[in-house]
Amino acid sequence: MSDAEITPIVPREGWHVMHLFYHVDHAQWSLYGDDEKRQAKTRLTELVQEIRATPDTHLLVFSVTTPKADLGFMLLGPDLQMLNAFEKQISLSLGPEILSPAYSYLSQTEGSEYTTTREQYSAETLIGEKGMTEGSAEFEAALVEFDERMAHYLKHRLYPVLPGWPVICFYPMSKRRSGEDNWYSLSYEERRKLMAGHARVGRKYSGKILQLITGSTGLDEFEWGVTLLAKDTFDIKAIVYEMRFDEVSARYAEFGDFYIGLQLPLDVLFRRICL
């Protein structure tokens, strides 16, 4: 059976997301001659170009800033079969013994179950807070504006186009299920109220932080992957610190390791990781 005959694995909504982190074996790399090194870097460069030219497929490439890893990739696209093939090619692109996995994470883009619905916005905001009359021209215009804003928001959550901002932060997280601090024992309304407060903190960093939350329940060891893009590490530190005081994080969040990377052009990246 050829690759073309393999059935694509495409979710009903959203895209698959892979975060891939590698160590570079510089001892093996030093055994390459100059021509072999040029050919290896050309292979990876051409693979990056191929992936980025694939419809609905996005690839971020970055230098990891600590010895947790050397090189990182964030790969997004609809078909898990195709992403899996690209992932295998990436791992061998510089040669069979040069890149070794340091960490990886699989998740999917998703909407939020706590996103305000049209009905909630009508009752709670337009009528309850702003005192509008249902059916009035002002009320209907506000609903149209809400529908457009939410359609844009959902499209970004499910099918994101991520900017080339230099700083990328990734960490996995889950909601705690321990004693009285069991997120899943709370009612939907309690969880929705808590998440609304959490979201207000995040909105303060609009224009400074682009945040993508991807779901990984049943796909990897935590329940979500969090990707933050920024122009300044100060903003990464600030938003994570401030959110730690929010009850959603203070009582109910469990975090994995944090990975910080720097998006760079490939020629600069090769020099940065000493290839």
Q: What is the pLDDT of residues 77-111, one digit of tens each?
A: 999 999 999 999 999 999 999 999 999 999 999 98
CA geometry: angle 112, 114, 117, nearest 5 deg: 100
Q: What are the residues whose beta carbons fall under 8 Å from the beta carbon of 21, sequence distance 6 or more?
A: 64, 68, 69, 71, 72, 101, 102, 103, 104, 259
- b/e code 119-143 from CB counts within 10 Å (16+ = b): eebbeeebeeeeebeeeeeeeeebb
Phi, psi for 272 (deg, rounded to 5) = -60, -40
CB 210 within 8 A of CB 159: no
CA distance 57 to 109: 13
**Six token digits for residue 32:** 């390459």
Summarised one tens digit per residue, pLDDT across range 182-220 is 999 999 999 998 998 888 888 889 899 999 999 999 999
Token pair 């005959």 is found at: 5
* C-alpha neighbours within 13 Å on the C-beta side of residue 108: 17
Residues across the chain? 275
pLDDT of residue 51: 98
Q: What are the residues whose beta carbons fall under 8 Å from the beta carbon of 117, sequence distance 6 or more?
A: none
pLDDT of residue 200: 83
Residues of the chain with pLDDT under 70: 1-2
* C-alpha neighbours within 13 Å on the C-beta side of residue 268: 8
pLDDT of residue 1: 58
In whole angstroms, how far apart are CA 31 and each of 76, 163, 267, 273? 33, 37, 21, 16
CB 181 within 8 A of CB 78: no
Residue type, 186: L
Annotated catalytic residues are: 171
Of residues 42, 20, 25, the one with CA closest to residue 87: 20
Phi, psi for 57 (deg, rounded to 5) = -120, 135
Helix (H) or strand (E) holding 210: strand 209-215
CA distance 142 to 111: 22
Bridge partners of 64? 261
**Six token digits for residue 92:** 């061998």
